[in-house]
Structure 1
Amino acid sequence: MSRSGKFIKAFISMFRSITCLKSFITVKLFIVLVLLLVSSRLTAQQSVEKWGMFEVVLKGSEAGNPYIGTTLSAVFHNGEKTYRTEGFYDGKGIYKIRFMPDLEGVWSYSIESNKSELNNQKGSFTCTASSGKNHGKVRVRNTYHFEYADGTPFYPFGTTIYEWPYQDATTKKQTLESLRKSPFNKARVLAIPPYKERYLNGPLKLTDFPFMGSSKADWDFSRFNPAYFKNLDSCIAHLQDLGIEADLILFRPYDKGKWGFDTMDEETNIRYLKYMIARYGAFRNIWWSLANENSFIKHLTDEDWDRLFQVIVKNDPHEHLRSIHNADRIYDYNKPWITHVSLQYYNAAKAQWGTPLLKDIYRKPVVHDEINYEGNIASRWGRISGEELTFRFWNAYIGGGYATHGESYVESPWISNGGRLTGTSPARINFLRKIVESGPQEGLEAIDHFYETNMAGKQGDFYLVYFGKEKLKEWPFILPKRGVTAGASYRAEIIDTWNMTIKPVKDVFELQPMKGDNYRFIDKNKKSIKLPGRPYMALRIRKVGGAEETSKEMKHELE
């Protein structure tokens, strides 16, 4: 029960004992008025499911500038768990505090503020079990991979819809429907739109911006615009409903000197970051992408980005994933506040060894968030074929990493607007996703990335072999020694990654040490698998029997 509720109960008890009032009706009407007055100060849910959003709404003063100098936070407590989360002003005298509970049971909270009408309010709510697609926030697992908070594996298959929140209602709805049918479970979205003519005039003209004002001439960088952010709230919530992670890009370099959102001073940047964390940190599907093409924001150095990351670390009690997307200078992903690599380096996905190398350098999950886009525009980054994009996706996953899709067709600029997916790669990416999900739950790992760069899976149990653009007609059944035992038997399937077919191989392959080779096992009858001589073929190999113990006498791949 909230503090105001206890006050009301005591107030009613007191007035029931008063006999000097003329009538019971008068007492009843007076109590109703008090109820309305007191209860309007704070409203909140009585219960919320685990990893859902609990929201406290407070009524306060609009005087002065509530965005500057107002402190508002709440301490949430359940057993041994305690979190402090910051609140934010949502306009028209409304203040909000959002929290994502991660433990079932009763949570109590107390509110602290330098405004008397907000300060020292208390309450509680019940956190119930999660339901449906709610598996909690995504976190890093086993160094190089991801999982939901409940332990369910999460394999990112991303897409890019930078400006989707700023389109008309029809396009927004169409985008959600396209995503619903797509393989994508992560979407990269700009928190602030780029400067473009279409947002100044015509049907997409923006009337709400992140800050109060209508142009660079009259922005008030000390006042956020709640109407703008309510639209973004809705978009993030829609993605969450679809089970899609929102990789929210906080800063971007696309103003061309016209709006000034990419030249804000440090004080404004920090205030903006704190506001975004308070507003969006309780969405379980949020990933923080500090910037897109960060090195194109010329006035900010790597040391500046370091300080901005510290603002996120300090103010996000839920510890969402954090990274930054590079341009011509790669940020140091080894820094401890970075949870994963968010890379724009096209060549790293053109070869199967690129991802393992990056994993060795950074010891973190690698997400190739920009590997060029399928499309037909003039810019060279947006005119590769669906075949090429699919090829790069396979290379990323065979290396034990992940990738993000984008389409930039003149007639359907998905990466900007959303809308309809018209390319040939999404269906093939969906096919790849099903294959990845059929593999080891802990995620794909390169089997022997020093020598067998086209092979991933789990040593001894599961293998994906990707031949890329090679047109092989035969593949001898040979596996790297690590994890394999003499007498182990395997079955294989031939995968056509472009035509999306899977054909079982009739033979069972029984392995033995390869004579004269200390590093590999071979089928005891030296059998091979016949291949069709086309590009983009792969094999899926699974252990079906044999010795359970792995040989202890294994040389390291570099020995």
Structure 2
Amino acid sequence: MRGFKGIFLLSVGLFLNINSVFAQLKIEQWNRFELKLPNNSDKNSFSDNLLSATFTHKDTSITVSGFYDGNNQYIVRFMPDKTGIWKYSTKSAFTPLNNKKGEFECIKASANNHGIVRVSQTYHFKYADSTAYFPLGTTAYAWTHMADDVQEQTLKSLQNSGFNKIRMCVFPKNYELVKEEPTIYPYAVKEIKKDAKGNEVKIWDFSQFNPAFFQHLEKRIDDLQALGIEADLIVFHPYDKGRWGFDEMPMEANLNYIKYLVARLASFRNIWWSLANEYDFVKSKTDKDWETLIKAVVKADPYHHLCSIHGSTAKYFNYQMPEITHTSIQDGAPVLNWGGAAIVRSIYPKPIIFDEVGYEGNLKSRWGRYSGEEMNHMVWMGLLGGTYVTHGESYMFKDHRDTIFWAKGGQFKGNSWKRAALARQILSETGPLEMADVSRDFKTATNGKGTYLIYFGKEMLEEWIFDLPHKNASSERPKPGTKYKVDIIDTWDMSITKVNTTFEASEANDYRIADKSNRKIRLPLKPYIALRITQTNPD
């Protein structure tokens, strides 16, 4: 595997002939413990999930499913979340796999290991170690199905960006602009037939997985983890149209696939589950089917990774469903109109991610021809409303064989990707945001702790007279005499300029606060300017 920068991935590849493993191993918190066990069987080792293991730590007990990895080898993986001694015992109908026991020591996580991402403060996220996480992600649906050199270039591009999440598919993609045939497939071939035109058509055995396919996917997910990037993994999608048939598998095969996928990947700390991309375009599944599949993923995952589902334009799933941890919405309207993102946020008491609002690019389709400035503007409009927006890029200079990043990864060709690092920096310094006066002031957000963010969007202003809403969301309102400093943030040119003026709040007047001396500052007469107003004196 590629360099892991301190990731401690330990496999216990022991061919056991006894029932206990006495060697004590050290596994870093939130990393993977892996137990490999050999067994010969004439059963369908993929469909008959005949191995599990129970891990215990003091008063904690977690049971995880094992899986068959081919070549007469079974694997159990476990992600410990508590330091100290963990003991385990296997259970299987196969005698050689049953009642294998051992233990390992879980040691404290290293500096770059923050653990799994969880929901925090209803609308936001944090890692398991309580470090705040702000999703500034991008999209490359089929990057793991491209040629090896393109995959390596994708990782290099991501390493040089500020992104910390990527939306990506498990299955390959067949689309107007994505026609590459993958070199490996998720299932074994049952037979090959000829269609009416004489082309070969593969008939899959949906009961027989191809371990090499999933091993490759795991390698790439670990590569992303080494870069500090979450893999927002799309389990199903409609971009098949009969080419492979992975979008029209029977429900039994879908559920078996979910069990196998989750058994393999749940121990990866940087996994998010996205049940589908544009779920409503998968005509073989109903909303009830999707609810069944969502519940199956959540039930199979002992660590309860983040889980959502994505629809087509302005198609909103039942995000109130308790198994769904956050929204994954395709809709540009909320971030193209002032206050729109905050309205969506008020509907769902969960983190709001607009995972598709359009792409910077030059395609004929309207969704793929935003300028870099417009893409960056939509990201900031989302942040202002206390929500998050996923980036995308879709430049095509020749034909569909181009490595269009939106689907294939490769090298960024636009400009908006460079701005992600600044947005993450601002969020890390201010903390989670929400609109200060949500029904009246659509341009001012607050962290509730004395810092405000004002974003002017496409307006070009020469000056700004100190003016804040008296409302501070649900937090305590500022008092007269409170002093503030101001930074001018150029979100496009990526600069932060400190203003050498201290402002002092007056008494509130009609829900607004002015400076006692009506002081103002000069602005650069450019679009995409933001102001960060920070309280300087304690309450």
TM-score scaled by length of structure 2 = 0.90
The answer as to 2:184 corresponding to 1:208 is yes
> In the TM superposition, what is the alpha-carbon distance from 1:475 to its structure 2 partner?
2.1
Deviations 1:306-339 (A, max 9, x none): 1111111211100100000111532111111110
Cα pair 2:162 2:419 within 8 Å, conserved? no
Matches within 5 A, 1:241-252: 241-252=226-237
Matches within 5 A, 1:252-271: 252-271=237-256
Deviations 1:129-182 (A, max 9, x none): 111311100000000000000000001100111111112221111111111110
* Counterpart position of 2:312: 327
The 2-side partners of 1:134 and 1:459 are apart by 29
The answer as to 2:32 corresponding to 1:53 is yes
2:342 match: secondary structure:
helix
Deviations 1:268-321 (A, max 9, x none): 110000111000000000000010110001121111111111111211100100
The 2-side partners of 1:370 and 1:155 are apart by 17
Runs (4 or more) in structure 1 with deviation over 6 Å come to 39-45, 197-200
* Counterpart position of 2:518: 526
> In the TM superposition, what is the alpha-carbon distance from 1:199 to its structure 2 partner?
8.6
Matches within 5 A, 1:69-88: 69-88=48-67
Counterpart AA for 1:468: G
Cα pair 1:43 1:57 within 8 Å, conserved? no
> In the TM superposition, what is the alpha-carbon distance from 1:113 to its structure 2 partner?
1.1
* Counterpart position of 1:542: 534
The 2-side partners of 1:36 and 1:277 are apart by 24
The answer as to 2:413 corresponding to 1:422 is yes
Of 477, 483, 487, the match for 2:466: 477
Of 189, 208, 225, the match for 2:168: 189
Change (3 A) 1:164 1:294: same
Cα pair 1:250 1:288 within 8 Å, conserved? yes
The 2-side partners of 1:511 and 1:96 are apart by 63
Cα pair 1:186 1:246 within 8 Å, conserved? yes
Of 267, 284, 287, the match for 2:269: 284
The 2-side partners of 1:59 and 1:41 are apart by 15
* Counterpart position of 2:422: 431
- How many pairs are equivalent? 506
Cα pair 1:140 1:339 within 8 Å, conserved? yes
> In the TM superposition, what is the alpha-carbon distance from 1:459 to its structure 2 partner?
3.3
Structure 1 unaligned runs (5+)?
1-34, 549-559
The 1-side partners of 2:49 and 2:449 are apart by 59
* Counterpart position of 1:304: 289
Counterpart AA for 1:470: E
> In the TM superposition, what is the alpha-carbon distance from 1:457 to its structure 2 partner?
2.3
> In the TM superposition, what is the alpha-carbon distance from 1:501 to its structure 2 partner?
2.2
The answer as to 2:515 corresponding to 1:513 is no
The 2-side partners of 1:439 and 1:57 are apart by 45
Cα pair 1:144 1:364 within 8 Å, conserved? yes
> In the TM superposition, what is the alpha-carbon distance from 1:406 to its structure 2 partner?
1.0
Counterpart AA for 1:208: I
1:542 match: secondary structure:
strand
* Counterpart position of 1:161: 140
> In the TM superposition, what is the alpha-carbon distance from 1:530 to its structure 2 partner?
2.5
Counterpart AA for 2:537: G
Change (3 A) 1:164 1:331: same
1:529 match: secondary structure:
strand
The 1-side partners of 2:449 and 2:91 are apart by 56
The 2-side partners of 1:374 and 1:361 are apart by 28
The 1-side partners of 2:88 and 2:449 are apart by 51
Of 86, 101, 120, the match for 1:141: 120
1:117 match: secondary structure:
helix
Name the stretch that deviates more: 62-71 or 221-230. 62-71
1:370 match: secondary structure:
coil
> In the TM superposition, what is the alpha-carbon distance from 1:403 to its structure 2 partner?
1.2
Cα pair 1:198 1:205 within 8 Å, conserved? no
> In the TM superposition, what is the alpha-carbon distance from 1:385 to its structure 2 partner?
0.3
Cα pair 1:247 1:288 within 8 Å, conserved? yes
Counterpart AA for 1:539: L
Counterpart AA for 1:378: K
Cα pair 2:470 2:508 within 8 Å, conserved? no
* Counterpart position of 2:493: 499
1:360 match: secondary structure:
helix
Counterpart AA for 1:150: D
The 2-side partners of 1:74 and 1:422 are apart by 47
> In the TM superposition, what is the alpha-carbon distance from 1:36 to its structure 2 partner?
7.2
Cα pair 2:161 2:420 within 8 Å, conserved? no
The 1-side partners of 2:19 and 2:152 are apart by 35
Cα pair 2:22 2:103 within 8 Å, conserved? no
The answer as to 2:131 corresponding to 1:152 is yes
TM-score scaled by length of structure 1 = 0.87
The 1-side partners of 2:15 and 2:342 are apart by 62
> In the TM superposition, what is the alpha-carbon distance from 1:120 to its structure 2 partner?
1.6
> In the TM superposition, what is the alpha-carbon distance from 1:196 to its structure 2 partner?
5.8
Cα pair 2:47 2:256 within 8 Å, conserved? no
Deviations 1:75-133 (A, max 9, x none): 11001111111111111111111110001111111111111221121111111111131
> In the TM superposition, what is the alpha-carbon distance from 1:460 to its structure 2 partner?
5.5
The 2-side partners of 1:259 and 1:275 are apart by 19
Which has the greater radius of gyration?
1
Cα pair 1:290 1:309 within 8 Å, conserved? yes
* Counterpart position of 1:92: 71
* Counterpart position of 1:363: 349
Change (3 A) 1:37 1:112: closer
Name the stretch that deviates more: 228-237 or 61-70. 61-70
The 2-side partners of 1:85 and 1:234 are apart by 21
The 2-side partners of 1:284 and 1:353 are apart by 34
Counterpart AA for 1:480: P
1:182 match: secondary structure:
coil
1:107 match: secondary structure:
strand
Cα pair 1:374 1:406 within 8 Å, conserved? yes
* Counterpart position of 2:9: none
The 2-side partners of 1:400 and 1:117 are apart by 53
The 1-side partners of 2:20 and 2:146 are apart by 36
Deviations 1:460-502 (A, max 9, x none): 5101100001122222211111321110011112222222222
Counterpart AA for 2:483: S
Cα pair 1:41 1:60 within 8 Å, conserved? no
Structure 2 unaligned runs (5+)?
1-13, 193-200, 398-402, 472-476
The 1-side partners of 2:267 and 2:216 are apart by 16
2:161 match: secondary structure:
coil
2:110 match: secondary structure:
coil
